Amino acid sequence: MNALPVFLLLTVLTAGPVLAHEGHDHGDEKKALAESGDTPQRRADGSVFLPKPAQRLIGVRTQPALAGDAAPSVELAARVVGDPQRGGRVQTQLGGRIEAAGAGGLPMAGMRVKRGQVLAEVVPAAAPLDAGGSAAQLAELQAARGLAEKRLARLRELADTVPGKEIEAAESELKALTGRVAALGQGLNGRELLRAPVAGVVAASNVRLGEVVEARATLFEIVDPDSLVVEALAYETLAVDDIVGATLAVGERTWPMQLLGAARQLREQALPLLFAHRGEQAGLALPLGQPVKIRLQLRSTAAVGEKPGFALPSRALVRSPANAPTVWVKQSPEHFVPRLVRTQPLDGARVLIVDGLQPGDRVVVDGAALVNQIR
């Protein structure tokens, strides 16, 4: 036999697929090999195998579920306002031209003032015709007063022959004319003095020298430097007696707030609530009108029936493929299982798990979303 055809036949046979013996499936061995080791993977029962290095990489943190009644809290939109008891506004009653009260000029924002201090003067503005009529009336009164003085002097010289009642009538007439002249003269030449109603810091100055302002215009706003007051609006039904505490947070700074009172009438379908914090320089921390958020701690608990819930951070809650609320529970150092839970809102940062957990379960609170994505 020729050696070349035999060599070609052996080459074709060896190049074809090699069949495994009975009971040996090499493909299954490769699949099993791929699922072993330190690779994060989801198992057939829905649990997740997550090695320690992978846990550290994605920042997995757990927290034990502690049973107990949780006091809910609510977050309300608010704004900084002036203290109605320790702050005040300066308004003009008549209106007119603004002039400085002294050599220092008008007080600027940020300056400290004392109670009763004159901040500015208002020169009343009057129409030329009205001013002329008042001046003519003043001249007539002054002339009448002069005649009354002369008449009283003559009557006193004739006191022996003139009845005393005529002298008394002349004195009364002279006194009345003198008062009318003084009142009308003050009205023509007088100025309205704007005084600080309280001691504090000028928060806003809304005038300039020489500016003409209308009556009842707010010219200065004065705040207490040691009083921070915010007004919150509650659009949902809120029992004021259930409020046991309040906290105002702006950036990294927080202030404990005390409830001053609540309005008894809705304003734009919301209930106004007033909170205050007393402390040194607290009133200068935030400007008037700044929008803020205030969190209220309520007295009522969020337990359901006789079974208490588990308060957990909101970030621990994820969604299952069926869009059901789920948390991940750590069963062993590298084994995590999903638990379907029933929740109710607690506040903006926490939720209350009312069903699906047992006391002591270690729940993933950081990295739960990444654990939920492992396939």
Q: Is the pLDDT of residue 312 over 70?
A: yes
Tens-digit pLDDT profile for residues 83-126: 988 899 999 988 888 988 777 788 998 999 999 999 999 988 76
- Average pLDDT in the 325-336 region? 92
Report the percent of the chain where pLDDT is more than 90.
Answer: 31
Tokens found for residue 310: 């588990």
Q: Name the β-bridge partners of 10.
A: none
> Confidence class of residue 20 from pLDDT cuts 50, 70 and 90?
very low
78 backbone dihedrals φ, ψ, rounded to 5°: -145, 175
- Average pLDDT in the 331-353 region? 85
> Confidence class of residue 131 from pLDDT cuts 50, 70 and 90?
low
Q: What is the C-alpha separation between 271 and 221, in angstroms, rounded?
A: 25
Between residues 290 and 17, the one the model is more confident about:
290
Q: What is the pLDDT of residue 154?
A: 84
Q: Within 10 A of 240 (CB to CB), how many other CB atoms are there?
A: 11
Mean pLDDT (the chain) is 81
CATH node for 73-83+224-298: 2.40.30.170
Instruction: Find out whether 146 and 196 touch, Cβ atoms under 8 Å.
Output: no
Q: What is the C-alpha separation between 238 and 314, in angstroms, rounded?
A: 23
Query: Does CATH number 2.40.420.20 belong to domain 41-71+303-372?
Result: yes
Q: Are strands 325-332 and 335-340 parallel, antiparallel or unpaired?
A: antiparallel
Q: What is the pLDDT of residue 258?
A: 93
- Average pLDDT in the 122-140 region? 71
- Among 180-184, 212-216, 256-260, 345-349, the least confident range: 345-349
Q: Within 10 A of 61 (CB to CB), how many other CB atoms are there?
A: 14
Between residues 128 and 267, the one the model is more confident about:
267
Q: What is the pLDDT of residue 16?
A: 44
Instruction: Find out whether 329 and 47 touch, Cβ atoms under 8 Å.
Output: no
Cα–Cα distance list, 125 to 98, 131, 161, 274, 291 (Å): 10, 9, 52, 39, 38
Gyration radius of the chain's alpha carbons: 43
Domain positions in the chain are 41-71+303-372, 73-83+224-298, 133-183
Greatest mean pLDDT range, 25-29, 166-170, 256-260, 356-360: 256-260
> Confidence class of residue 303 from pLDDT cuts 50, 70 and 90?
low
Residues comprising the chain, all counted = 375
Greatest mean pLDDT range, 5-9, 88-92, 191-195, 310-314: 88-92
Q: Which residues contact 48 (CB under 8 A, 6 or more apart)?
A: 40, 41, 42, 328, 335, 336, 337, 371, 374
> Confidence class of residue 77 from pLDDT cuts 50, 70 and 90?
very high
Instruction: Name the nearest CA neighbour of 344 among 332, 353, 357, 336.
Output: 353
> Confidence class of residue 186 from pLDDT cuts 50, 70 and 90?
low
Q: What is the pLDDT of residue 340?
A: 93
Between residues 219 and 351, the one the model is more confident about:
219
Q: Is the pLDDT of residue 49 over 90?
A: yes
Tokens found for residue 341: 């839970």
Q: What is the pLDDT of residue 8?
A: 35
Instruction: Find out whether 278 and 255 touch, Cβ atoms under 8 Å.
Output: no
- Average pLDDT in the 130-134 region? 65
Q: Which residues contact 349 (CB under 8 A, 6 or more apart)?
A: 313, 314
Instruction: Find out whether 329 and 363 touch, Cβ atoms under 8 Å.
Output: yes
Q: What is the largest CA-CA distance in the chain?
A: 183
- Among 23-32, 36-45, 165-174, 365-374, the least confident range: 23-32
Q: Is the pLDDT of residue 299 over 90?
A: no
Report the percent of the chain where pLDDT is more than 70.
Answer: 83
Q: Which residues contact 47 (CB under 8 A, 6 or more apart)?
A: 331, 335, 336, 337, 338
